[in-house]
Amino acid sequence: MTVDAKRFEALFNPKGVVIAGASTHPGKFGFVSLHNLLSAGYAGNVFATNLEGSPVLGIPTLRSIEDLPENQADLIFVCTPKSANPDLLRSAAAKGITAAFLTSAGYGEAGPEGRRDEDELIDLCDELGILLVGPNGQGVVSTPASMCAQIVAPYPPIGSIGVASQSGNFISSFMNWACATGVGISRAVSAGNAAATSVVDFLHYYAEDPATSVGLAYIEGIADGPSVADGLTEVARHMPVVLVKGGSTSGGARAAASHTGSLATDDATFDGICRQAGVTRAATIEEAFEAAATFATQPLPKGNRVIVMTTAGGWGVVTADAITRHPDLELAVLPDDLLAAIDEKLPPRWSRNNPVDLAGGETRDTIPEVMQLIAEHDDVDAIVYLGLGIQSNQARMLRDGRFYPDHGIERIVEYHERQDGRFAQAAHDISVATGKPILTATELAVAFPDNAGPATVRDTGRLCYPSADRAVVALGHLWRRSRYRQRRGLPIT
């Protein structure tokens, strides 16, 4: 681990946290942040300061940071007003604090005077040897440490996506997506004004962090273009980086200028720089999350030949359109020997083409068997699997209906749910065994997340895509990274 990465350990794996400015009022940041820290189950030392020394949430507080025992905490989470911060940080440093997250506002975002104060803050933290994060930030989350030091919800499931954002709200958005899909987060941090620590700095740490396998970032303005471009190139060499940039249009750029006070660059230039750096650029927040979730849970494809496997015709047709329309993916031609092998498994009404439409001809084991045949074929690089959960959706209706459990309904419900669970598990297991991505898509993931199909996809740790189109977009991002690396002689596993 580099010297810089070691500095981040106090932020993401602190031995103790001090909430400075803890409040007894449940509406205040100083209350909420202590609440979130305690309720997420952080196991390190927790301290809180409060001017009156009133207990907050049942824990005693320190009237002053001077009362903090030495070397029991290394992260201070600052909810105090700006004017209190210089003295607070000096005293904290003397007690062994080496990282500070500042939620306090009124700094660079507030005009020239605030900017001067921010400059002084940077110098002070430099002098004290404190890693300064923020100010004007929302918080920091680290699931390996069960740490939720932030002034907002949620606390996401554990996973390997590392999030950094120039806008705190998008930290929440990405974590909400993690909660919705089950594909979890390792670390998440809002850079706030990024006075001393930028989104790219966090990505650098994530690239070295064993708990993180993919970086997911939101940025608006770029203060130092060449160093950002070099930094992103370096980080993307070590792990996939998915980026959303706000202010890509002239209207958005004006909004960004007033939001973060940053200068916009020509979007085509930024797009080219991402491609040159091997950074995955996403147009929307959900596209970015799904791309990151896919990098985190699927192997990279070695090529771009995709087979669609479906239990129903129309879905396959639309997905074939999406793959064909994609500038980089290819709808694979179904190889003759694969066709012959699938013929052995299905009655003749199946599509005998790509999409492989089973057309209702499947029996108990057909889906896992055909999926395996397809995935093992050398001329196939990836599979999009459609139709999972249909029978379990009917099972739900049967179970909820007034005839349950009579008339043989109970038995068929169990059978359907067991089968969909098996199919979802097979998609995961075959993908792991073959090293090829298999993406399962159904809107049941959203409509009825407890359906045995999508629920099992979730249990395998993978994303159940809410539509085939979104699966195709995510797969396209995987393939672009793979191609970028192959062309440059870099490993793809």
Q: Which of 2, 39, 249, 276 binds another protein (CB under 8 A)?
A: 276
472 contributes a contact to another protein by CB under 8 A:
no
Binding to another protein (CB under 8 A) within 178-237 occurs at 222, 225-226, 229
- 464 CB neighbour count, 10 Å cutoff: 29
**What gap in Å lies between CA 15 and CA 38, rounded to an integer?**
14
Smallest gap from residue 274 Cβ to another protein (A): 10
Question: Which residue lies nearer to another protein by CB, 182 or 221?
Answer: 221
Q: Is 254 in the site for another protein (CB under 8 A)?
A: no
C-alpha distances in Å from residue 491, one per residue of 214, 305, 481, 484, 486: 16, 19, 11, 10, 7
- 272 lines the binding site for another protein (CB under 8 A): yes
- Residue given tokens 């209906």 in the structure block: 401
CB 86 within 8 A of CB 112: no
Q: Does 265 bind another protein (CB under 8 A)?
A: yes
Q: Which of 27, 112, 251, 268 binds another protein (CB under 8 A)?
A: 268
Distance from C-alpha of 335 to C-alpha of 272, rounded to nearest angstrom: 36
Report if residue 39 touches another protein, rule: CB under 8 A: no
41 scored as a contact of another protein (CB under 8 A): no
Query: Rounded to 10 degrees, what is the CA torsion of 135, 288, 256, 277?
Result: 90
Side chain identity at 223, as an amino acid letter?
A: A
Closer residue to another protein in complex, CB, 79/228? 228
**With binding defined as CB under 8 A, does residue 275 bind another protein?**
yes
Q: Report the nearest approach of another protein to the CB of residue 228 (Å).
A: 8
Residue 266 interacts with another protein (CB under 8 A): yes or no: yes
402 binds another protein (CB under 8 A): no
CA distance 182 to 178: 5
Closest CA relative to residue 371, chosen from 457, 417, 430, 304: 430
Q: Per CB under 8 A, which region of 67-75, 145-153, 273-281, 351-359 contacts another protein?
A: 273-281
Q: Are strands 382-386 and 305-310 parallel, antiparallel or unpaired?
A: parallel
Q: Is 129 in the site for another protein (CB under 8 A)?
A: no
Cα–Cα distance measured from residue 157 to residue 177, given in angstroms and rounded to the nearest whole number: 10
- Is 271 a binder of another protein (CB under 8 A)? yes
CB 385 within 8 A of CB 363: no
Interface ranges with another protein (CB under 8 A): 222, 225-226, 229, 263, 265-266, 268-273, 275-276, 487-488
